[in-house]
Amino acid sequence: MKKIYFGNLQPKKGTIHIARDRCKGCGFCVEYCPENVLELSAEFNVKGYHPPDVKYEEKCLYCQLCETICPEFAIFVTLKTPGEAEPSLAEVGASGTAGEAHKEGGNR
Amino acid sequence: MKKVKADPKGVLTGAHFLDGDFALAEGALAAGCRFFAGYPITPSTETAERFSERIPTVGGVFIQMEDEIASIAALIGAAWGGQKVMTVTSGPGFSLMMENIGLATMMEVPLVIANVQRGGPSTGLPTLTGQQDMMQVKWGSHGDYEIIALSPDSPQECFDLIIEAFNLSEMFRVPTFVMTDECVGHMHEKVVIPPAEEIEVVERKWYTGPKGKYLPYKNDDDLVPFMIKAGDGYRFHTTGLTHDERGYPMLNAKAQDICVNHLKDKIIKNADKIIKFEEADTDNAEVIVISYGITSRVAVKAVQEAKKAGIKVGTMRLITIWPFPEKRIKELAKKVKAFVVPEINYGQIVLEVERCVAGQAKVIGVRHCGGGVHNPEDILEKIKEAIK
Amino acid sequence: MSEKEKNQEENPMEGFLRMDRIPHIWCSGCGIGTVVTSFVEALKKSELDLDKVAVVSGIGCTGRVAGYIKLDSFHTTHGRAIPFATGLKLANPELKVVVFSGDGDLTGIGGNHFIHAARRNMDLVVICVNNFNYAMTGGQVASTTPQGANASTAPYGNFEFSFSLPNLAEAAGATYVARWTALHLRRVTKSIQEALGKKGFSFIEVITPCVTLYARRNRLGDGLNLLKYYHDNSEIKHGADTRTLDIDYQGKLTVGKFVDKEKPTFLDAMNEHLGKVLGDDYQLYGRLNND
Structural domains in chain C?
Answer: 15-260 (3.40.50.970), 263-291 (no CATH)
Residues of A in contact with C29 (CB under 8 A): 24, 26-28, 71
Q: Looking at CA atoms only, how far is residue C231 from chain A in angstroms?
A: 6
* Last residue of one domain, picked from the residues B176, B202, B228: B202
Asked if the Cβ–Cβ distance from B85 to C91 is below 8 Å, we say yes
Interface probe with A: pick from C185, C193, C210, most Cβ of A within 10 Å = C185
Q: Kindly report, residue by residue over B8-43, the tens digit of the pLDDT.
A: 999 999 999 999 999 999 999 999 999 999 999 999
Q: Looking at CA atoms only, how far is residue C90 from chain B in angstroms?
A: 7
The chains found to touch A (3+ Cβ pairs under 8 angstroms) are C
Q: Looking at CA atoms only, how far is residue C22 from chain A in angstroms?
A: 8
What number of CA atoms fall less than 13 Å from residue C130's CA on the CB side?
Answer: 28
Question: B304 is in which domain, residue-wise?
Answer: 278-386
Interface probe with B: pick from C20, C22, C80, most Cβ of B within 10 Å = C80
Instruction: Determine whether C8 is exposed, middle or buried from the number of CB atoms within 10 Å of its CB (0-12, 13-18, 19+).
Output: exposed
Question: Does residue A87 have a pLDDT over 90?
Answer: no
pLDDT of residue B184: 97
Domain of B92: which CATH number? 3.40.50.970
> Cis omega before residue A87 (within 30°)?
no
Structural domains counted in chain B: 2
Question: Does residue C9 have a pLDDT over 90?
Answer: no
CA B166 – CA B179 distance, rounded (Å): 14
Contacts of A34 (CB under 8 A, 6+ apart): A61, A63, A65, A98, A99, A100, A101
Q: Looking at CA atoms only, how far is residue C51 from chain A in angstroms?
A: 22
CA A78 – CA B324 distance, rounded (Å): 63
For A72, which residue in chain C has the nearest alpha carbon? Answer: C33
Question: Does residue A86 have a pLDDT over 60?
Answer: no
The chains found to touch C (3+ Cβ pairs under 8 angstroms) are A, B
Asked if the Cβ–Cβ distance from B231 to C95 is below 8 Å, we say yes
Domains in chain A (CATH in brackets) are 14-84 (3.30.70.20)
Q: Are residues B179 and B297 in the same domain?
A: no
Asked if the Cβ–Cβ distance from C285 to B59 is below 8 Å, we say yes
Residues of C in contact with B69 (CB under 8 A): 80, 83, 113
Q: Are residues B158 and B15 in the same domain?
A: yes
Mean pLDDT of C164-184: 97
pLDDT of residue A99: 36
Q: Are residues B170 and B51 in the same domain?
A: yes
Pair C214, C267: CB distance under 8 Å: no
Which candidate from A25, A68, A78 shows the least CB-CB separation from C28?
A25
pTM for the full predicted model: 0.93
Domain of B330: which CATH number? 3.40.50.920
Residues of C in contact with A104 (CB under 8 A): 236
The chains found to touch B (3+ Cβ pairs under 8 angstroms) are C
- Give C 13-72 residues with CB within 8 A of chain B: 18, 20-21, 51-52, 54, 56, 66-67, 70-72
Q: Is B251 contained in some domain?
A: no
How many beta carbons lie within 10 A of that of residue C222, not counting itself?
18
Q: Kindly report, residue by residue over B79-109, the tens digit of the pLDDT.
A: 999 999 999 999 999 999 999 999 999 999 9
* Last residue of one domain, picked from the residues B184, B202, B220: B202
Q: Is B129 contained in some domain?
A: yes
Contacts of A8 (CB under 8 A, 6+ apart): none
Q: Kindly report, residue by residue over B297-349, the tens digit of the pLDDT.
A: 999 999 999 999 999 999 999 999 999 999 999 999 999 999 999 999 999 99
Q: Where are the alpha helices (DSSP H) in C70-222?
A: 81-91, 103, 111-120, 165-172, 185-196, 216-217
3-state secondary structure of C74: strand
Residues of C in contact with B80 (CB under 8 A): 74, 88, 91
Question: Does residue C173 have a pLDDT over 50?
Answer: yes
The ipTM assigned to this model is 0.94
Interface probe with C: pick from A13, A16, A28, A29, most Cβ of C within 10 Å = A28
Contacts of C96 (CB under 8 A, 6+ apart): C48, C52, C53, C54, C125, C196
* Last residue of one domain, picked from the residues B202, B220, B237: B202
Mean pLDDT of A12-36: 94
